[in-house]
Structure 1
Amino acid sequence: MEELQPTEPGQRPSLLLVDDEESILNSLRRLLRSQPYEVLLADSGARALEILAQRPVDLVMSDARMPDMDGATLLARVREGYPATRRILLTGYADLSTIVKAVNEGQIHQYLSKPWNDEELLLILRQTLEYQHAERELKRLQQLVLEQNRQLKVSNAELEKRVASRTAELQQTADMLDLAYEELKHSYVTGTEVFSLLANLRLPADKQTNRKIIELVRACCASYGLDETASRDLTMAAALYNIGKLSWSDAMLAAPAELLRHADQERYRAYPSQSESLLMTLEPMQDAARLILHHQERWDGSGFPQHLRGEAIPWGARLLKLVVDFIELQCGLILERRMNSDEALLFIRKYAGRLYDPNMVEGFVRVCAAYLNDVTVDDPTVRVLGTRDLQAGMVLRRNLNADNGMLLLNAGKVISEPLVQKLIAFEAMEGGHYSIFVSVPEAPGPSLDIGH
């Protein structure tokens, strides 16, 4: 089948929306009414293929669940007959098998869940069409180079006169190709980040981790001086490290790992493998997928899924585990009690050599101290004490919260002896153990009584 030509320059991009529910199509049409797109509608896969056979279409967005021909099958047909047409799967079900089928057979470019967020959907459409435009521009530039090479052979007799100007033209073309290729790579990274934000919408706002993990990974890459390729792979791994959790129930997604029961624990330990299997079919994601597969391995070999130990764990996966655990400890996704940033870093220090690469921990603490405004654990003037080690005159450097989240004391509070006794009593009553961040007042000047 000969593929129809794509939208000509200057024309509005054409979108084909496919859903067997008329109300969904009407909602999408209203949303896109003010956008610079030509919108086509189809109520079945068969109707969509008829439209594609009659005219060029830039992007097809199909519902996953339709009678006769489901969305994954339709997008696979679109990929086979119209490979330049972009493909997006829209579904209201957390159906991992449908997603895998759409990724493997239809090689979809994006996945959206119902109900969608209007702004996110518009952003995905714009990013996808911009990516498509960049691909077409790259092909156009490649054709331009081929044509220029042909002209060089024909004009060989005049080569000496034209060599200076032609060299400049070729250099400019090569620069444009490099720029277009870099833009393609950047668009791919951007696409993974947008997808991660959409996946996060299933979580409560206070448990959405991906954006924080992406930003901290970027800070680590800059601090360690990683090259562009390693930084890009780590960023994409940070964006999609938990894609294998999409089939989980909402309750399991929000639950701390330590509270999961046996069956759920098994599903939890399988999520790195599921994440990797979803991404391995995408060529630019293969190195990032390997980091995701191993980011829950532990330095002592007790991790999962392959129980790798020490240096056998890829370096990027060791760094990703530090970042993921640091953020998830603060979001209550590992332990039932949420930690502040200092407590999370103390936890990581405590388990250096068991869960984490001992050679990376202190460097990671320094990156966090430089990147975040609320980290004091790397401040030499701050000490972390238990309640019985407190002394009158010390100054509280962080808010003190009970294990149930209740605020006990504000940062800046000066410790007194009666306050110490109250904290000891409250700690005993609650059955907890507080880590208290304090600064110690400067010692008085040297005493003249040297015999004391």
Structure 2
Amino acid sequence: MEEQSAPTPAHRPAVLLVDDEESILNSLRRLLRGQPYEVLLASSGAQALEMLAQRPVDLVMSDARMPNMDGATLLASVRQLYPATTRIMLTGYADPSAIIKAINEGQIDRYISKPWNDEEMLLILRQALEHQHLARERERLERLTRVQNDQLKLLNSTLEKHVSARTAELQQTADMLDLAYEELKHSYVTGTEVFSLLANLRLPPAKQTNRQIIELVRGYCKVHRLDEAASRDLTMAAALYNIGKLSWTDSMMTTPSDLLHSTDRDRYRGYPKQSESLLMTLDPMKDAARLILHHQEHWDGSGFPDRLKGEAIPLGSRLLKLAVDFVELQRGLILERQMNSDEALLYLRQYSGRLYDPELIEDFIKVCALVSDITLTDPSVKVLGTRELAAGMILARNLNADNGMLLLNAGKVLSALLVDKLISFEAMEGAKYKVFVKVPEEGEAALLAGS
């Protein structure tokens, strides 16, 4: 007889919220009102454990800092006693030691900062419970497969025809398991991107980087047809490469790395290792964590943390380095002056063979042309110094001074007088401009010069 599963009513997940501040619990209860959850409240870790002992709970979300029993200790106990229960930490400050303790001991599924965004909070809870549902469904299917295997052994001795039919049924079950597992992996990638958006809230909009880096990495993977596993690891690494910076001060988060003082510079050099430490205990993140660990290594061996050189650096880390620097140069997070996209690409070319893999540079520039506003791949555009300029040339990009002031707009036709003024202003500033220009045909140049 085949195993029949009786229909059951739709499961209403039980969500236990733990915080020693009544106002926080009230805010969360109001937020979840109208959601398809059974909401339970506890004001301490001890009370939460008592409630868990009395009834099953699908998800526990606990504040990190509470008297007597902190959130990390509570979630570690939940993991030991009720391993199937999803665990989320809610905290109002960035404390690397608390985060690492929660990840290592409680193996938390998510980390949310106060104050939270209501829509993002609801999205995280929904995804966490969907992830849990998929895991439970996968376990149910595995149990069903074991039962069907036992039945197959019994039938094998009596009816060959029945064996053939059952084998086809088992294949269908295996396909369902594969599909469920793929959904789990996809959910993990989505979760990392959601978390990266939350982490970006520490930065002003003009300094946020993760979304553009994810798009660049995805574009590269698509153009070069990287396999699904490599694409997934690179995307997760791009989403969480800077998670180790969450404990920094706001000032350090926005200061260009070249301007950091010695103490802050040492802390900066430690962020790839800090990021890897936070992610290594999450099994689906291990390969992505390794890419993050080495994304600040240099092609010539002068990088950090391990001074790897050349092809000893993982390929994904070399690509992530290009994407991170391309975006951070434009955000003013590496040098004091913010570059435009073309200037950032020229910088990558300039340090090819020193900081970057020379074999990746041109392919990366082609991908940037697909997803960014650049003129560097236009053969009619030249990059010249001020003393190489001539009357009749046309600016292909806005020209800005080192302090960010706009000097000339794109489309401006240069005259001899303008060229002389640029040379004088450059000398007065002590700067060295890179000017993106188009050189017209001879007849057109004469016409423009005359006008």
TM-score, normalised by the number of residues in structure 1? 0.93
Other structure's SS at 1:175 match:
helix
User: Which residue of structure 1 aligns with residue 421 of structure 2?
Assistant: 422
User: Which residue of structure 2 aligns with residue 286 of structure 1?
Assistant: 286
Residues of 1 paired with 2:34 and 2:435: CA distance?
Answer: 55
Q: CA deviation at 1:96?
A: 0.7
Give % identity: 74
Deviations 1:65-119 (A, max 9, x none): 0001000000000000000000000011211110010000000000111111111
Distance 1:344 1:173, change over 3 A: same
State the aligned residue count: 437
* Contact in 1 for aligned 2:330/2:341 (Cα 8 Å): yes
Q: CA deviation at 1:157?
A: 5.8
Other structure's SS at 2:26 match:
helix
What is the 5 A alignment of 1:325-336?
Answer: 325-336=325-336
What is the 5 A alignment of 1:35-54?
Answer: 35-54=35-54
Matched, 1:124 2:124: yes
Matched, 1:381 2:383: no
Other structure's SS at 2:436 match:
strand
Matched, 1:63 2:60: no
Provide the alpha-carbon RMSD of the alignment. Answer: 1.6
What is the 5 A alignment of 1:98-113?
Answer: 98-113=98-113
Residues of 1 paired with 2:167 and 2:106: CA distance?
Answer: 42
Residues of 1 paired with 2:203 and 2:428: CA distance?
Answer: 34
User: Which residue of structure 1 aligns with residue 324 of structure 2?
Assistant: 324
User: Which residue of structure 2 aligns with residue 397 of structure 1?
Assistant: 396
Residues of 2 paired with 1:309 and 1:332: CA distance?
Answer: 27
* Contact in 2 for aligned 1:152/1:159 (Cα 8 Å): no
Residues of 1 paired with 2:208 and 2:120: CA distance?
Answer: 16
Q: CA deviation at 1:418?
A: 2.2
What is the 5 A alignment of 1:345-384?
Answer: 345-372=345-372, 374-384=373-383
* Contact in 1 for aligned 2:64/2:71 (Cα 8 Å): yes
Residues of 2 paired with 1:280 and 1:163: CA distance?
Answer: 44
Q: Which amino acid aligns with 1:376?
A: T
Other structure's SS at 2:187 match:
helix
Residues of 1 paired with 2:9 and 2:195: CA distance?
Answer: 28
Q: CA deviation at 1:397?
A: 1.1
Other structure's SS at 1:90 match:
strand
* Contact in 1 for aligned 2:156/2:163 (Cα 8 Å): no
Which sits farther off after the overlay, 190-199 or 331-340? 190-199
Other structure's SS at 2:192 match:
helix
Residues of 1 paired with 2:51 and 2:127: CA distance?
Answer: 24
What is the 5 A alignment of 1:172-321?
Answer: 172-321=172-321
Deviations 1:112-140 (A, max 9, x none): 11111111111111111111011011011
Residues of 2 paired with 1:90 and 1:273: CA distance?
Answer: 23
Deviations 1:377-415 (A, max 9, x none): 121111011222211221111112222222222222222
Q: CA deviation at 1:430?
A: 2.7
Residues of 1 paired with 2:127 and 2:336: CA distance?
Answer: 38
Distance 1:75 1:300, change over 3 A: same
Residues of 1 paired with 2:314 and 2:149: CA distance?
Answer: 44
What is the 5 A alignment of 1:83-94?
Answer: 83-94=83-94
Q: Which amino acid aligns with 1:371?
A: V
Any unmatched runs of 5+ in structure 2? 1-7, 445-451
Any unmatched runs of 5+ in structure 1? 1-7, 446-452
Which sits farther off after the overlay, 49-58 or 402-411? 402-411
User: Which residue of structure 1 aligns with residue 439 of structure 2?
Assistant: 440
